[in-house]
Chains A and B, each alone.
Chain A
Amino acid sequence: MTGAMGARGVVFLGSPAFPDAARTALADDRLRANLRRATTTIRDKRLAATGELDDWEELRAAGEAIKRHTLRHLPYYLERLEESVTAAGGTVHWAADAAEANRIVTELIRATGATEILKIKSMATQEIGLNEALADAGVTACETDLAELIVQLGEDRPSHILVPAIHRNRGEIRDLFAAEMGHWGRPAPEGLTDEPAALAEAARLHLREKFLRAEVAVSGANFACADTGTVAVVESEGNGRMCLTLPETLITVMGIEKVLPAFTDLEVFLQLLPRSSTGERMNPYTSLWTGTTPGDGPSAFHLVLLDNGRTDTLADEVGRQALHCIRCSACLNVCPVYERTGGHAYGSVYPGPIGAVLTPQLVGVEHASSLPFASTLCGACYDACPVRINIPEVLTHLRAKAVEAKAGHRRLPTLEALAMKGATAVLVSPARLGLAQRAASLGGRLLSRRGRIGRLPGPFRGWSDTRDTPAPPAESFRAWWRANRAGGQR
Chain B
Amino acid sequence: MSTRDTILGRARAALGDVPPAERPEEAPIPRGYRRSHADVPLVELFAERVADYRATVTVAPEHQAARTVGRLLADRGLTRAVVPDGFPDAWLPGGTFTRLGDAPPRTPAELDGIGAVLSTCAVAIAVTGTIVLDAGPGQGRRALTLLPDYHLCVVRAEQIAGDVPEAIALLDPTRPLTFVSGPSATSDIELDRVEGVHGPRTLDVIILTSTEEA
**B-contacting residues of A (Cβ < 8 Å)?**
34, 37-38, 41-42, 52-55, 58-59, 61-62, 65-66, 69, 72-79, 82, 88, 94-96, 100, 144-147, 150, 163, 165-166, 169-170, 173, 196-197, 199-201, 203-204, 207-208, 211-212, 225, 228, 230, 236-239, 241-242, 244-246, 256, 261, 263-264, 266-268, 270-271, 278, 280-290, 293, 295-297, 305, 307, 311-312, 314-315, 317
Q: Which residue in A53, A163, A297 is a CB contact (below 8 Å) of B191?
A: A163
- A72 contacts B179, CB within 8 Å? no
In angstroms, Cα B24 to Cα A317, docked, is: 18
Query: For the complex, is B128 an interface residue (Cβ under 8 Å from A)?
Result: yes
B residues near A65, Cβ cutoff 8 Å:
27-30
Check A236–B32 contact: CB distance below 8 A. Answer: no
Minimum CB–CB distance for A231 against chain B, Å: 10
Apart from the given pairs A73-B23, A239-B198, 4 other A-B contacts in the complex at a CB distance below 8 Å:
A69-B27, A79-B8, A94-B3, A238-B200
Q: Are B181 and A282 in contact, CB atoms less than 8 angstroms apart?
A: yes
Q: Does any Cβ of A come within 8 Å of B41's Cβ?
A: no
Q: Residue A241 contacts which of B141, B142, B190, B192 (CB distance < 8 angstroms)?
A: B142
Count of chain B residues with Cβ under 8 Å from any Cβ of A?
74
Question: Are B146 and A38 in contact, CB atoms less than 8 angstroms apart?
Answer: no
Would B198 and A280 count as touching, CB distance under 8 A? Answer: no
* Contact assessment for A307 and B7 in the assembled complex, using a CB-CB cutoff below 8 Å: yes
The interface-forming segment of B58-66, B71-79, B90-98, B161-169 is B161-169
Q: How far is the CA of A296 from the CA of B15 in the complex (A)?
A: 40
A-B CB proximity, top 8 nearest: A238-B199, A238-B198, A315-B14, A311-B10, A73-B24, A69-B27, A282-B128, A147-B188
User: What residues of chain B lie closer than 8 Å to A95, measured between beta carbons?
Assistant: 3
Bound CA–CA A413/B164 (angstroms): 52
A-B contact count (CB 8 A): 249
Contact indicator per residue, chain B 169-188, by CB within 8 Å of chain A (1) or not (0): 10001111111111111111
Residues of A with C-beta under 8 A to B197: 146, 200, 203-204, 236-239
Q: Are B141 and A242 in contact (CB under 8 A)?
A: no
How far, in whole Å, are A169 and B189 apart by their CA atoms in the complex? Answer: 7
Q: Would B180 and A285 count as touching, CB distance under 8 A?
A: yes
Best-buried of B105, B164, B187, B188 by chain A (most CB within 10 Å) = B188
Interface centre among A239, A242, A286, A288 (most CB of B within 10 A): A288
21 pairs of residues in contact across A and B, judged by CB atoms under 8 Å: A41-B190, A62-B30, A65-B27, A72-B15, A79-B8, A96-B7, A169-B190, A196-B192, A197-B194, A199-B189, A236-B186, A238-B146, A238-B184, A241-B199, A256-B11, A261-B24, A270-B168, A285-B180, A289-B177, A290-B174, A297-B142
The answer to whether the Cβ of B212 comes within 8 Å of any Cβ in the partner chain is: no
Output the least CB separation between B108 and chain A (Å).
5
Q: Smallest distance from the beta carbon of B207 to chain A beta carbons, Å? A: 17
**Complexed CA–CA distance, A446 and B200 (Å):** 67
Q: State A61–B31 Cα separation when bound (angstroms).
A: 8
Tell me the smallest distance from the CB of B163 to a CB of chain A, in Å.
Answer: 8
Q: Contacts of B177 on A, CB cut-off 8 Å?
A: 286-289
Could you tell me the distance between the alpha carbons of A305 and B135 in the complex, rounded to whole angstroms? 28
CA distance A365 to B196 in the complex (A): 43
A237–B199 CA distance with the chains assembled, in angstroms = 6
Asked if A94 contacts B2 (CB within 8 A), the reply is yes
- Beta-carbon nearest neighbor of B195 in chain A: A197
Given known pairs A42-B191, A145-B188, A284-B183, the reply for A314 and B129 (CB within 8 Å) is no
